[in-house]
């Protein structure tokens, strides 16, 4: 695996203005519509493709955790990748790299992109699709971490965020039933014409009857995956938890790897 666009790799040493300029370039290169060869419906029926003798597509979830030094300061980022095929985990890998910059809303990929790309280099299989923790097109400059990573590797990617960064839900997103979705449109804070559909609030899970509610996920196109397909896939990859399995397992693995690496 390599970087088709090494010139777009997130460089933490860039000035804030340069980072934003790079993001606009990434957004112009990104493809926010379906452009892949695998069958996206294979995720809802992991066994079906096996029955037809077809190789199920490989999906990888990516998530990060952070390590602290002796003084208690976060000085390293750990990126974990969990690759799955036909509903089974086929590979797990992680990488640790020093942290260069603090978290700044809108510039997440410049903080976590390094460890992610390092981990992807260490992966032996090459996934047909990536799911990242964070946004894709739901971003001020339409270039969230899922879009940035997807474009640098030129691989289909989807952003899965747990809270809304920007954009406007087209309907009330409280108390949504499981399986439902609400379009997220660009607002004045997004570098896209107002009303542009930049993603979906996806309710993958919901409590049965209580007076408590689970918040939806915010799913958006990273690269080469349209918003509808992104929402479909995020939903299809979900089983018993709110997060799609690849991301949930990467989240869990990132935590385990952090604990075992500090011992």
Partner DNA sequence: GCGACAG
Partner DNA sequence: ATCTTGTCGC
Residue numbering of the annotated binding site for Mg(2+):
63, 133
> Smallest distance from the beta carbon of 85 to DNA, in angstroms?
24
Cβ-based nearer residue to DNA, 183 or 199? 199
Whose CA is closest to 39, among 233, 202, 181? Answer: 233
Cα–Cα distance measured from residue 85 to residue 237, given in angstroms and rounded to the nearest whole number: 11
DSSP string of 180-216? Answer: -EEEEE--TTSSS-TT-EEEEEE-----SSSS--PPP
> Smallest distance from the beta carbon of 60 to DNA, in angstroms?
16
- Which residue carries 């918040």 as its tokens? 215
CA atoms within 13 A on the CB side of 91: 16
CB 212 within 8 A of CB 175: no
> Smallest distance from the beta carbon of 212 to DNA, in angstroms?
6
Cβ-based nearer residue to DNA, 82 or 108? 108
Cα–Cα distance measured from residue 221 to residue 228, given in angstroms and rounded to the nearest whole number: 9
Cβ-based nearer residue to DNA, 69 or 163? 163
> Smallest distance from the beta carbon of 185 to DNA, in angstroms?
15
Residues annotated in a binding site: 63, 133
Cβ-based nearer residue to DNA, 59 or 145? 145
> Smallest distance from the beta carbon of 165 to DNA, in angstroms?
4
Cα–Cα distance measured from residue 81 to residue 125, given in angstroms and rounded to the nearest whole number: 11
Q: Which element (helix H / strand E) includes 62? A: strand 58-68
CB 234 within 8 A of CB 244: yes
Q: Which residues bind DNA (CB under 7 A)?
A: 63-66, 103, 105-109, 133-135, 139, 144-146, 159, 161-166, 208-212, 254-255, 258
Cβ-based nearer residue to DNA, 85 or 220? 220
């Amino acid at each position: 695996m390599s970087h088709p666009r090494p010139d777009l790799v997130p460089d933490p040493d860039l000035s804030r203005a340069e980072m934003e300029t790079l993001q606009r370039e990434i957004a112009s290169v990104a493809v926010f519509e379906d452009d892949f060869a695998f069958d996206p419906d294979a995720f809802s029926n992991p066994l079906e493709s096996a029955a037809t003798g077809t190789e199920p597509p490989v999906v990888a979830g990516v998530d990060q955790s952070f390590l602290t030094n002796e003084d208690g300061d976060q000085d390293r980022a750990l990126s974990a990748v969990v690759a799955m095929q036909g509903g089974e985990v086929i590979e797990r890998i992680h990488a640790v790299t020093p942290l260069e910059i603090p978290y700044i809303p809108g510039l997440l990929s410049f903080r976590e992109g390094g460890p992610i790309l390092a981990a992807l280099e260490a992966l032996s299989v090459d996934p047909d699709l990536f799911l990242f923790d964070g946004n894709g097109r739901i971003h001020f400059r339409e270039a969230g971490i899922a879009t940035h990573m997807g474009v640098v590797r030129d691989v289909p990617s989807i952003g899965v965020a747990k809270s809304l960064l920007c954009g406007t839900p087209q309907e009330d997103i409280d108390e949504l039933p499981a399986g439902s979705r609400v379009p997220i449109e660009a607002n004045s804070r997004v570098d896209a014409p107002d009303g542009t559909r930049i993603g979906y609030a996806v309710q993958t899970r919901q409590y049965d009857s209580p007076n408590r509610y689970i918040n939806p996920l915010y799913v958006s196109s990273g690269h080469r995956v349209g918003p509808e397909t992104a929402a479909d896939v995020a939903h299809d990859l979900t089983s018993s938890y709110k997060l799609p399995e690849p991301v949930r397992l990467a989240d869990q693995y990132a935590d385990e790897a952090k604990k075992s690496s500090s011992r």
